[in-house]
Amino acid sequence: MIIIGELINSSRNSIANAIRDQDIEAIQKVGLDQWKAGAKFIDVNAGTFDDKEPEYLKWLVQTVQEVADVSCSIDSPDPDAIESALSVHKGIPMINSISLERNRYENMIPLIAGTNLKVIALCMSDDGMPKTVDDRLRTADRLINRLLQNNLPFENIFLDPLIQPISVDTSFGIEFLNAVEKITTNYRGIHTICGLSNISYGLPARNFINRAFMIQAIAKGLDSAIMNPLNKQLMASIIAAEALIGRDSFCINYIEAYRSEMFDF
């Protein structure tokens, strides 16, 4: 599982304060904790700071990479902010995100075309959020083709079929899961990714249902997620789910996780 740590996001109060105060120590702790917990990318987001977003996003990348040998996921819809962050980033970052919406696509593609950047590609077009498997596959197909035509390597694409809450429509869970299965079957070698927590919007015991959905999505082929790697129960669920579908030779990760007390909660 390729985990993108989601915690450095200015929509969280503690992070917004740390950014405003330029509190290097606070940001580095959140970055380092996520990296140590297994995140392969650290998402950085300063979206609440309008004018200062380019400056702050750059600062976040520098601050995180000063203490952790890890790539960032640069989380912004603003090409200037992304460019500013890219100018200081070491290694190969992820761009979070592009979609098939005309404005977003046209803003992003000059930054991405012909590069080796990893890219989160949302299955969203100007027709709005997808509902069915077919909606997702149609958008996925067009998006993949366009990205390939713009010389982005196939294996750099992280397709997000977009989770919607089952409290809104009972079919939203299974439509997402079946989309993941179809995409990983039809486009072998492409990554699929999701932001998990939307699934449980409007329901009680959200963490429980989030974990169950992650376990199901892994069984359907999901290999990446934007999430909180400090959530021990969620991490343990991922480790168990991967062992169960044959992604963990001799269950070594699972047994190691057990020994390190990952399952004590």
Binding residues (CB under 8 A) for a copy of itself: these are 166-167, 170-171, 173-174, 177, 199, 203-205, 208-209, 212-213, 215-216, 218-220, 236-237, 240-241, 243-246, 248-251, 254-255, 258, 263
Confirm if 177 and 216 have CB atoms less than 8 A apart: yes
d(CA 221, CA 241): 11
CB of 22 to a copy of itself, least distance (A): 41
CB of 59 to a copy of itself, least distance (A): 39
CB of 153 to a copy of itself, least distance (A): 27
CB of 33 to a copy of itself, least distance (A): 24
d(CA 49, CA 40): 26
CB of 233 to a copy of itself, least distance (A): 10
Per-residue three-class SS string for 221-265: CCCEEEECCCCHHHHHHHHHHHHHCCCCHHHHHHHHHHHCCCCCC
Confirm if 3 and 55 have CB atoms less than 8 A apart: no
CB of 140 to a copy of itself, least distance (A): 20
CB of 209 to a copy of itself, least distance (A): 5
Residue 189 or residue 246: which is nearer to a copy of itself going by CB? Answer: 246
The alpha-helical segments, DSSP class H, found in the chain are: 13-20, 24-36, 53-67, 79-86, 102-112, 133-149, 172-186, 206-219, 232-244, 252-259
Residue 22 or residue 167: which is nearer to a copy of itself going by CB? Answer: 167
Residue 41 or residue 254: which is nearer to a copy of itself going by CB? Answer: 254
Q: Are strands 224-227 and 2-9 parallel, antiparallel or unpaired?
A: parallel
d(CA 198, CA 201): 5
Confirm if 119 and 158 have CB atoms less than 8 A apart: yes
Residue 85 or residue 177: which is nearer to a copy of itself going by CB? Answer: 177
Residue 143 or residue 257: which is nearer to a copy of itself going by CB? Answer: 257
Strand partners, 99: 122
Residue 189 or residue 204: which is nearer to a copy of itself going by CB? Answer: 204
The alpha-helical segments, DSSP class H, found in 155-219 are: 172-186, 206-219
- In one-letter notation, the amino acid at residue 104 is R
Residue 65 or residue 192: which is nearer to a copy of itself going by CB? Answer: 192
